[in-house]
């Protein structure tokens, strides 16, 4: 099994969500069957939204340095549970000699498998501004709907609000996208699944974090677990 390096902290709670989902999805019968995971959870990475607005530092150098540190610590493949930061995925990949598992590619593959032709993007401003999903979905012949302003709700989650009011606000955004013709809603910000799941809305949901977990396991589980 490959050692996984996680570029985290964007935000910290979303990184923990990814790690919990990775643990739960790993087909392990004992401690030794789990992946070795090295995580650098650094919330000081420059803000992705500010960078893409043009009024903040680029996070690219910090992400490249984080990637190099993870590889130096033993990581054999890398993953980053932050959608917006994938705008700088090229700098990460260029900085290290190990594979980088793209969250964008993984989520778009999950959308394609769903058969949806029109996808609502519940995402941060930076992800939408960069066009990360719009371009990737269009390449698969899938239309993106991205007219909802999710930042107020996302910022509430980042501030620690995961209560009923925030859940209702996020569910309302998902329903608004469905009302604009989306077949499914892609939770394309890692804060969204912290307050939204299938029990909160009738709209079909796809979790980009869960899609990344699936892709990481496909890459990292190069050998089956041993006998009990």
What totals of helices (H) and strands (E) does the chain contain, helices first?
10, 8
Residue spans of beta strands (DSSP E) within the chain: 4-8, 37-41, 77-79, 100-101, 118-122, 143-145, 184-187, 205-207
Sorted by sequence, the CB contacts under 8 Å of residue 171 that are 6+ apart come out as 196, 200, 201
**Which active-site residues does the annotation give?**
82, 189
* Cα–Cα distances in angstroms (integers) from residue 147 to residues 10, 123, 138, 177, in the given order: 23, 10, 16, 8
SS3 91: helix
Cβ atoms < 10 Å from Cβ of 212: 27
């Amino acid at each position: 099994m490959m050692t996984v390096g996680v570029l985290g902290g964007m935000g910290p709670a979303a990184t923990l969500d990814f790690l919990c989902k990775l643990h739960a999805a790993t087909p392990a019968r004992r401690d030794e069957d789990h992946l070795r995971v090295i995580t650098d959870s650094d919330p000081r990475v420059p803000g992705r939204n500010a960078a893409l607005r043009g009024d903040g530092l680029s996070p690219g150098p910090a992400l490249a340095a984080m990637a190099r540190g993870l590889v130096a610590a033993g990581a054999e493949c890398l993953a980053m549970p932050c959608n917006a930061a994938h705008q700088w995925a090229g700098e990460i990949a260029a900085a290290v000699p190990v594979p980088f598992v793209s969250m964008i590619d993984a989520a778009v593959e999950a959308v394609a498998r769903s058969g949806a032709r029109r996808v609502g993007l519940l995402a941060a401003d930076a992800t939408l501004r960069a066009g990360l999903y719009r371009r990737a979905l269009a390449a698969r012949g899938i239309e993106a709907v991205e007219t909802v302003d999710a930042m107020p709700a996302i910022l509430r989650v980042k501030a620690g609000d995961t209560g009923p009011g925030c859940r209702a606000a996020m569910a309302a955004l998902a329903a608004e996208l469905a009302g604009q013709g989306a077949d499914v809603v892609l939770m394309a910000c890692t804060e969204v699944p912290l307050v939204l799941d299938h029990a909160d809305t009738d709209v079909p949901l796809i979790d980009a974090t869960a899609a990344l977990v699936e892709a990481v396991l496909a890459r990292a589980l190069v050998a089956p677990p041993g006998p009990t």
